[in-house]
Amino acid sequence: MATDVITLDHGSGGKLSHQLIAGTVAPLFDNPILSRLDDGAVFAVDGARLAFSTDTFVVDPIFFPGGNIGDLAINGTVNDLAMCGAEPLYLSLGLIIEEGFPFGDLKRVLQSMRDAADAAGVGIVTGDTKVVPKGAADKLFINTSGIGRIRKGVNVSAHRAAVGDPIILSGSMADHGMAVLTQREGLAFETDLVSDTASLNGMVEQMLAVCPDIHTLRDPTRGGVGSTLNEIAAAARIGIRIYEDRLPVKKAVAGVCELLGFDPLYVANEGKLLAFVPEDQVQAVLETMRSHPRGKEAAVIGQAVSDHPGRVVMETPIGGTRIVDMLAGEQLPRIC
């Protein structure tokens, strides 16, 4: 079947998103910085190494338990920079507002952006606002871009994940995606799920302080832990083996996932990270993470292996094995 229009699958964070970017966007702008396809671009200016990243937020609904589109937009870009091993410095802010959007809501969103920026220690230093006619956008879309500085000796990239690296996940999966989904109009049940949206740069800084040689950091947002691990396996040409009984999922989240037929491995997170670290330093990193509020439940969920390069394989609790593929279809549109 020929796919000749953009469908929501292209925005899922899974295979089609990947194909769209790697097949259509990246080749056109081809350059060595872009082609690494990490969470942000890394380059040197006058000897200083900088990370530069951008992200656009279209989450629906705008307000959800645990946050709103505003703090999500700050945390998203802050985290993308942190995943490059950078200390986030400055952010820009672009607003696309639909005509008729309540002023009070805008103020609330902006206030939480301010709070999130303060919490992450970044400044919003430039911005732009556009208002479009009713129907030309849905309520409010936000773009944030940011730059950060990378310390000497730090070199974090998906390409550096190496055979033998233990893989750490900083906490429970699927909190954000399921919290947003259960708020959507039309979902006829109430739950008390809360998004995990949070900035991770503080914890990353401490992690890099104990282990500057961390190989890979990624925040498993759209497409979830499953898709992110696949991206890393492909970029680093390694195999990945994870253990299902080590994957943390909150009970309530697991329940809703099961009810609605979602696999937590593919549901978005907004305040979690995956780290590939040198084997001899895993304990130090793990302890640092666990002593930080964002990483209390950090756990080693698997390791990089030489078998099945490019593939993620999971061992199930009963001892069976199966592939964890990249998300193929649309799991949840407009989740971030």
Which residues would be at the binding site for another protein (CB under 8 A)? Answer: 1, 3, 5-9, 15-16, 19, 186-188, 245, 255, 258-261, 308, 313, 315-323, 325, 328-330
- How far are the Cα atoms of 53, 100, 206, 216 from residue 90, in angstroms, in the given order? 11, 30, 20, 23
**One-letter amino acid for residue 196 of the chain:** D
Report helix, strand or coil for 27.
helix
Query: Closest distance between another protein and the C-beta of residue 252, in Å?
Result: 12
Judge whether 122 and 146 are in contact, CB under 8 Å: yes
Instruction: Identify which of residues 135 and 293 has a Cβ nearer to another protein in the complex.
Output: 135
Judge whether 302 and 242 are in contact, CB under 8 Å: yes
Instruction: Identify which of residues 201 and 230 has a Cβ nearer to another protein in the complex.
Output: 230
Instruction: Determine the Cα angle at 60 with ends 232 and 126, to 5°.
Output: 75
Quote the CA–CA distance of 201 and 206 in Å, as a whole number: 9
Instruction: Identify which of residues 213 and 263 has a Cβ nearer to another protein in the complex.
Output: 263
Instruction: Identify which of residues 1 and 45 has a Cβ nearer to another protein in the complex.
Output: 1
Query: Closest distance between another protein and the C-beta of residue 55, in Å?
Result: 24
**One-letter amino acid for residue 60 of the chain:** D
Quote the CA–CA distance of 304 and 298 in Å, as a whole number: 17
Burial class (CB in 10 A: 0-12, 13-18, 19+), 268: buried
Q: Which residues pair with 145 in a beta bridge?
A: 54, 92
Answer positive or negative: Cα dihedral of 258, 261, 267, 271: negative
Quote the CA–CA distance of 145 and 147 in Å, as a whole number: 7
Query: Closest distance between another protein and the C-beta of residue 49, in Å?
Result: 36
Query: Among 102, 81, 99, which Cα is nearest to 90's?
Result: 81
Query: Closest distance between another protein and the C-beta of residue 262, in Å?
Result: 10
Instruction: Identify which of residues 52 and 266 has a Cβ nearer to another protein in the complex.
Output: 266
Instruction: Identify which of residues 51 and 327 has a Cβ nearer to another protein in the complex.
Output: 327
Instruction: Identify which of residues 151 and 308 has a Cβ nearer to another protein in the complex.
Output: 308
Query: Closest distance between another protein and the C-beta of residue 99, in Å?
Result: 21
Query: Closest distance between another protein and the C-beta of residue 44, in Å?
Result: 37
Query: Closest distance between another protein and the C-beta of residue 314, in Å?
Result: 8
